[in-house]
């Protein structure tokens, strides 16, 4: 099978050129087995953007693709070589800790998880950092809670025991960033990060969840203030209206910490909305206390509504 690759960006840095190109989502694992230094930068639809440094020995394949265009059925010389077989599991007592070469368990088909393969390190803790990505709810129902198990892979082809991450309140067809921490592992040892989702918890029938857009932001005296409007889209009054907010920096690191979900209230403390009704809400965060004032205009604020009729 030929792998379709579109190279959109290319440059050299000393003896390790850096490449960035788009591939079909279904081909990512196969490509990364041959080019393990590539990382997922972004995902949009069925297309994934990969980026990373490669050796000059690996450049002829990419240069052929750039020069000759897309691989065609009669151009087997442009195809990636066959995938090498996975290394055997490390023997007991080999010092590999909880590493294992077993394949990942299957994930729930309603939840798609894409992790960024570059760990976000902590300057004063070289063996600790963050693992980030994005979770997509492919179902037609809101997710009340789902556990995502994140695995790190090493250059030896083994993976470490999962890091469980709890996520909540994801709209149908919506997505939410994921952020968790790792310890006891140098970022240089990580060649891939994979994740699978367990079966999500469905809410009671009739529960609604949707993302809030068009948020207004102001920053003054070290405090970020986010305001928005909640509109009841239906002809049925809503009760138990809750607003949940999560904040992420440009690297996808959650603040003030992983899995911290903040609550916001409708103005006046209201908890219900009439049919087709609307109300304002306000959310504040003291960025000065967190040392994030310089990122005030770069933070991503994810807000969504959770309500029942």
| Domains, in order of start, for the chain | 5-76 (3.30.70), 111-197 (2.60.40), 208-308 (2.60.40.10)
Among the residue ranges 14-18, 165-169, 233-237, the one predicted with the least confidence is 14-18
Q: What is the pLDDT of residue 42?
A: 66
Sequence-distant (6+) residues with CB within 8 A of 197 are 107, 108, 111, 112, 113, 135, 146, 147, 148, 149
305 - beta bridge partners?
Answer: 210, 243
Tell me if the pTM is above 0.85.
no
Among the residue ranges 51-55, 239-243, 277-281, 303-307, the one predicted with the least confidence is 51-55
- 205 vs 86: which has the higher pLDDT: 205
Q: What is the pLDDT of residue 46?
A: 62
Q: Ramachandran region of residue 185, left (φ > 0), alpha (ψ -120 to 50) or beta? A: beta
pLDDT tens digits, one per residue of 43-84: 655 666 777 777 777 777 666 544 443 343 343 443 443 333
Name the average pLDDT for the chain.
Answer: 79
């Amino acid at each position: 099978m030929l792998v379709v690759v579109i190279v959109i960006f290319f440059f050299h840095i000393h003896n390790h050129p850096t490449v960035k190109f788009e591939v079909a989502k279904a081909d990512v694992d196969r490509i990364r087995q041959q080019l393990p230094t590539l990382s997922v930068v972004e995902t949009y639809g069925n297309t994934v953007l990969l980026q990373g440094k490669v050796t000059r020995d690996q450049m002829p394949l990419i240069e052929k693709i750039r020069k000759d265009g897309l691989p065609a059925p009669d151009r087997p010389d442009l195809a990636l070589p066959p995938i090498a077989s996975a290394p055997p599991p490390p023997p007991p007592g080999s010092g590999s800790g909880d590493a294992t070469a077993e394949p990942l368990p299957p994930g729930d088909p309603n939840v798609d998880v894409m992790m960024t393969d570059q760990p976000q390190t902590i300057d004063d803790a070289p063996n600790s950092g963050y693992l980030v990505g994005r979770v997509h709810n492919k179902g037609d129902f809101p997710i009340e809670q789902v556990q995502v198990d994140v695995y790190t892979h090493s250059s030896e082809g083994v993976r470490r025991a999962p890091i469980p991450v709890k996520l909540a309140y994801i709209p149908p067809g919506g997505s939410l960033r994921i952020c968790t921490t790792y310890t006891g592992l140098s970022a240089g040892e990580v060649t891939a990060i994979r994740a699978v989702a367990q079966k999500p918890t469905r809410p009671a029938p009739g529960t609604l969840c949707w993302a809030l857009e068009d948020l207004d932001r102001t920053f003054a005296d070290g405090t970020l203030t986010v305001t928005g409007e909640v509109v009841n889209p239906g002809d049925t009054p809503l009760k138990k209206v809750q607003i949940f907010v999560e904040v992420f920096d440009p690297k996808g690191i959650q603040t003030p910490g992983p899995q911290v979900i903040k609550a916001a209230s409708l103005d006046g403390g209201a908890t219900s909305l009439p049919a087709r009704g609307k109300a304002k809400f306000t959310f504040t965060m003291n960025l000065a206390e967190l040392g994030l004032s310089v990122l005030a205009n770069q933070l991503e604020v994810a807000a969504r509504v959770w309500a029942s009729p």
